[in-house]
Structure 1
Amino acid sequence: MQVVLTGGTGYIGVALIKELVGAGHQVTALVRNEAGAAKVTALGAQATVGDLFDSAWVAEQFAAGDAVAHLAATGDATTQELDRGVVAAAVRAGKPYVHTSGIWIWGSNDTITEESPFAPPQLTAWRSAVEKLVLQADLTATIIAPGIVYGYGGGIPGGVFDGSGKLVGQGTQHWTTVHVDDIAALYRTVLERGEGLGYLIGASGENPTVRELGEAAAGNAGVTPESVDASRERLGALFADALLLDQQTTGAKARSLGWAPKAVSLLDDLRSGTYA
């Protein structure tokens, strides 16, 4: 199968290219520059350099594939503009399409399923309007919403558990988690099926508290809770508010597809793995 994807130089994108190439698929990664091209080529993908904000160009590239996955993000407010353009390109190309969302869109909830009501923090409140476009379009589409992604010392845990022992708030909130290799395997599963599955939560079913995670990272050094205001000042208000969400889920719908998370848990990874 020929898969065309955006975001191939990113945290999940790198893992996805490895997963797809390892399964015998051909991958074309749309990248912004020659540095990105060199990175994805080294992973076994073919690189195509262009402007991801050029929806017509993106549609032309998407049309050459059997399936499409969008993982790119700018890291700032322009991600919404990027997403809207990529969705328009996907509709124009008409190929099975996998869009990337995130677990935070459901807000605080201890039994999150794909049917749960949305209650996003301000940081990700823009997503619902874009994702409605995906689901209302004449498109075979799946929206994967990963939990907090970890592994290889990266992702949010690598920045939050920085050795200071500070918790986000009091640390009583749960985080729903997934290893980067496991979420890559879920993307591959969905791409291979070529079906429109609507929302699909990508989570391992491990939902530790932030205190448990902080203690695993700090070891004998111990942890220090802080006020919500202190966390908002330290991390930025929008990011802190997202990290303060109390979320749990089983990821049952994804498991029903035959997906079986198998990587080390985030707790164990913080204690003695890639974050140690």
Structure 2
Amino acid sequence: MSKVLVIGATGYIGRALALSLLRSGRYIVYGLARNSEKAALLTSLEIVPVVGDVSNSAEYLSLISSEHIDVVIDAAGAYAESYKILEDLKKVGQERLEVAKKAGIRTPKLGFVYTSGVWVHGSSHREVSDLQPVGVEHSPTQPPQLVAWRPALEQAVLGASDVLDTVVVRPGLVYGGAGAIWTALFTPLLRAAKSGAEVVGVAADEDSMPGLIHVEDVATGLHAAVEKLPLISGTGIYPVFDLVSSTESMKIILESAAKAMGCKGKVELKGSKDDLFAIAMNCSINSSSGRAKTLLGWEPKRIGMVARMDVYAKAWMVTQS
């Protein structure tokens, strides 16, 4: 069986991915854990824990070499840490190739899947593609300040293809389950439901149309990238894939969430103003996932957030108690 290491395996996306890989029966899954408590959680899920963190990477880098890990997935969503992960993996990947060369054998490169996000496209109602350049002067739009660093990191990942097999996967705005990223927008609605407020203000834009994806569909998209990585590497295929399953009105999302939470007050969208996180959350992304479907064989199963908001809002509410 292939061996994969998930960095961020105890997180929202990383855990869903690790479980997807395990369910296939084709992988031994390792997960990076910062402490013994998180390691115990991974063990209970049948994920092999590796205690350590990115800043103290000796433990997991040693594992990559000793266990001959095939693919590493960065699902942590960090900034400086992701740069360090990439630099560390480039060194390990180079060492693997040098050892093989000295032994006179050929060996596959170490695989690396980086989890980015469609916010790199910036906000626009125009259709965008994962083939378009992002974060450069001639890009149609620029990414929000919160993730302005990400296009450069994506390019650094792609530029490591001499020693690593690399893929960049860009999920849309993720929902489902705990969905902590929605807390800033959902919390005022829940408070209004409890207080009986007649009006509730939310830091959202009236015309926002985010590109959305359920966390389980993110997991299967990343899973597909892991499986197809050896097949697309070195073929000339541009290894960057947007994952979006629907584009919906933020206004309708929040109104339907308020109703599901029992909030009877009027929802007023106050605008994202100068709140960097709110600006990113309100990015309008009209992106096609056609290449992910065609080249990775990915098919989303949970399409439409508003359609099942009664389920998704309540799942989020349970985590707030």
TM over 0.5: yes
Identify the residue that residue 251 of structure 2 maps to in structure 1: 211
Residue of structure 1 in register with 2:207 after alignment: 172
Q: Residue in 2 aligned with 1:160?
A: 185
Which consecutive residues of structure 2, in runs of 5 or more, have no partner in the other structure?
94-109, 135-141, 193-199, 315-321
Residue of structure 2 equivalent to 1:76: none
Cα separation, partners in 2 of 1:175 and 1:275, compared to 1, 3 Å? same
Tell me how many residue pairs correspond in the alignment: 263
**Secondary structure of 1:123's match?**
helix
CA contact (8 A) 1:62 1:89 kept: no
> By how many angstroms is 1:134 displaced?
0.9
- Correspondence 1:38-77 to 2 at 5 A: 38-63=40-65, 64-73=68-77
Task: Note if 1:142 corresponds to 2:146.
Answer: no
Query: Counterparts in 2 of 1:14-93, with a 5 A limit?
Result: 14-24=15-25, 25-63=27-65, 64-73=68-77, 79-93=78-92
Q: 2:217 aligns with which of 157, 161, 182?
A: 182
Larger Rg: 2
Residue range with higher mean Cα deviation, 83-92 or 181-190: 83-92
Aligned partner letter, 1:252: G
In structure 1, C-alpha distance between the alignment counterparts of 2:87 and 2:17, rounded to whole Å: 23
* 3-state SS of paired residue (1:274): helix
Cα shift at 1:266? 1.2
Q: 1:51 to 1:214 in 2, by over 3 A?
A: closer
Which of 113, 116, 135 in structure 2 is aligned with 1:98?
113
Q: Which runs of 5+ in 1 are unaligned?
A: 74-78
Alpha-carbon distance in structure 2 between the residues aligned to 1:212 and 1:93: 48
Checking the alignment, whether the CA contact within 8 Å between 2:50 and 2:60 is kept in structure 1 is: no
1:166 aligns to what SS in structure 2?
strand
| 1:101/1:127 contact within 8 Å kept | yes
> Is contact 1:55–1:88 with CA below 8 Å preserved after alignment?
no
Instruction: Tell me the C-alpha RMSD between the 2 structures.
Output: 1.9
- Distance in 2, Cα, partners of 1:33 & 1:58: 13
Shift, 1:93, TM fit: 3.0
- Map of 2:317 onto structure 1: none
Letter in 2 for 1:200: F
AA matched with 2:45: L
Among 118, 122, 128, the residue aligned to 1:112 = 128
SS at match of 2:62: helix
Counterpart CA distance in 1 for 2:301 and 2:172 is: 15
Contact 2:122 2:283 in 1 (8 A): yes
**Matched residues in 2 for 1:71 and 1:166: separation?**
32
Letter in 2 for 1:96: G
Percent identity between the two aligned chains: 30
Give the TM-score normalised by structure 2.
0.76
1:58 to 1:125, Cα distance in 2 relative to 1, 3 A: farther
- The CA deviation string for residues 73-94 of structure 1, in whole angstroms up to 9 with x for no partner, is 4xxxxx3221111001222233
- Within the candidate set 194, 199, 202, 2:243 is matched to 202
The answer to whether the Cα contact below 8 Å between 1:153 and 1:275 also exists between their aligned partners in 2 is no
SS at structure 2 position matched to 1:245: coil
